[in-house]
Amino acid sequence: MVMGNVNVNVLLESFGLYTIAGLMIVVGLAIFEVTTPYSNWREVQKGNIAVALATGGKIVGLANIFRVVESHHDRLVDILVGGGFGFFLLLVTYWLFEFLTPSLKVNEEIGRGNIAVGLLAFLLSIGVSLIVGAALVR
């Protein structure tokens, strides 16, 4: 069945990819939740902009990785493996950010509401996702 320039198969495939990426982002955020000393969602609810920025960067970073992987791969296993590996690299980057800045306790500062550190974490997540996304489709 064709509706304009889009057929039903394209819509169903798009919905499937949307669902896969959404579930992987939820799983990724759950993993990030247990790696931070504070509750992301409680802090956001309290109005902690730094946590909102850091969490938003993770969401956009994960979404970008899955966007790139889904646009270059057709097989579900390739999407899951590529996206999962990209998420792993994003997670490692966040840990390295904490480790390589010993004079700046990243998680503590974000938890305290330091917007500058939250913004830096946001930009780091997006920047790394751009690099990882490009690397995953070579």
Residues 6+ apart with CB under 8 A from 117: 50, 54, 104, 106, 109, 110
Q: pLDDT tens for the chain, 138 residues: list them.
A: 555 667 888 888 888 888 988 998 999 899 989 988 899 999 999 999 999 999 999 999 999 998 999 888 878 888 888 888 998 999 899 889 888 998 999 999 999 999 999 999 999 999 999 999 999 887
Q: 6 - beta bridge partners?
A: 3
List phi, psi (to 5°) of 5.
-95, 5
E-strand ranges in 1-131 read 2-3, 6-7
Q: How many whole angstroms from its chain centre is CA 55?
A: 8
pTM: 0.85
Q: 2 - beta bridge partners?
A: 7
